[in-house]
Every structure is written in C-alpha cells, then in structure tokens.
C-alpha cells in the first residue's frame, strides 16, 4: 500500500473493535472537521462514512475475536480538507478492491462501501489476505462528490 504524504496535522486514535467505540470515532472526526472549516453537511457525511468503515472492521476484519482487537483511526487535518484512514490488521481479502456494494446487487450485502463512496470526495481501499485493510477517505469543504 502506498504511504500517503498529506500535509496537515496528524491525529491518531486506537480504538477497540467494539460497536460502542464507533461513537468515539464519530465524535473525534466531527470535532476535527468542524475546526478546519468543513460545513455541517460535510461533517455529517464524514460521520456516516467513518461509522460505516468502523462497522466493517467490527463485522468482517477479525471474525468472532473482534472485541480483543483494535482499529486505528488516522486523520490528517488542514484548512478545508480532512483525510481519514480506518485501519485494521485483520484477515483482509485478496483483491485490489472489494466487490462494489450497490443497491441493486444480487447478493445480500451491506451498503457500507457504497455509502462511503457516495459521501466522500475520494475513497481508496487497500487490502491483502492476512494483512488487514485500510480504507482511505478524503472530504473537502463544500465539494460536490463525483461518481467513483
């Protein structure tokens, strides 16, 4: 996975892979976003996207042992832009991108990645079997999302 070299302040949290800590991730991201000039709509989009990414870690990264594991929330903040990574060291998957979650998908899958892609300005997913997954997202102030 290529390492990002974004400008801005680095903020990092390590959270247990438990649903009750998703609220902590949401609060952290919303507080950071509000301080760097993102709009209320941008903040709401970020909160949903981060919630979905964290939920995916809890539901898929570690199987039944998730409560004993941690995920990392890493943010780079600069005026008008927030870059967020949700990182796990779980089972990962062998593909350059996970299957696209779509509302019309024939498989009964969640809509997490679909929502993340719709709400954020940029989204990248890096994963490999046995080496975990990183969901990298960018939100810019007041910018309209284009289909990815």
Locate the domains of the chain by residue range. Answer: 10-140
pLDDT at 62: 82
CA distance 73 to 43: 16
Instruction: Tell me the per-residue pLDDT of 52-100, one tens digit each, with 9 for 90 and over.
Output: 999 999 988 887 666 689 999 999 999 999 999 999 999 887 755 455 5
Please, what is the average pLDDT of the chain?
85
CA distance 87 to 142: 26
Instruction: Tell me the per-residue pLDDT of 19-31, one tens digit each, with 9 for 90 and over.
Output: 999 999 999 999 9
* Torsion region of 8: left, alpha or beta (phi above 0 gives left; psi -120 to 50 gives alpha): left
Question: How many residues in the chain?
Answer: 148
**What architecture is the 10-140 domain classified under in CATH?**
2-Layer Sandwich (3.30)
Average pLDDT over residues 108-131: 87
Q: What is the pTM of this model?
A: 0.83
């Amino acid at each position: 996975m290529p390492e990002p070299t974004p400008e801005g302040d680095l903020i990092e949290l390590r959270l247990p892979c438990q649903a009750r800590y998703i609220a902590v991730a949401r609060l952290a991201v919303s507080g950071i976003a509000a301080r760097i000039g993102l709009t209320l709509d941008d903040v709401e989009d970020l909160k949903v996207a981060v919630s979905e990414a964290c939920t995916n870690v809890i539901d898929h990264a570690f199987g039944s042992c998730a409560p004993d594991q941690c995920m990392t929330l890493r943010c780079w903040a600069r005026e008008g832009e927030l870059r967020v990574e949700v990182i796990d060291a779980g089972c990962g998957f062998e593909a350059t991108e996970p299957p696209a979650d779509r509302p019309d998908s024939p498989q009964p899958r969640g809509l997490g990645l679909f929502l993340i892609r719709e709400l954020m300005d940029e989204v990248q997913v890096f994963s490999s079997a046995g080496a975990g997954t990183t969901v990298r997202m960018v939100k810019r102030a007041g910018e309209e999302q284009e289909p990815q």
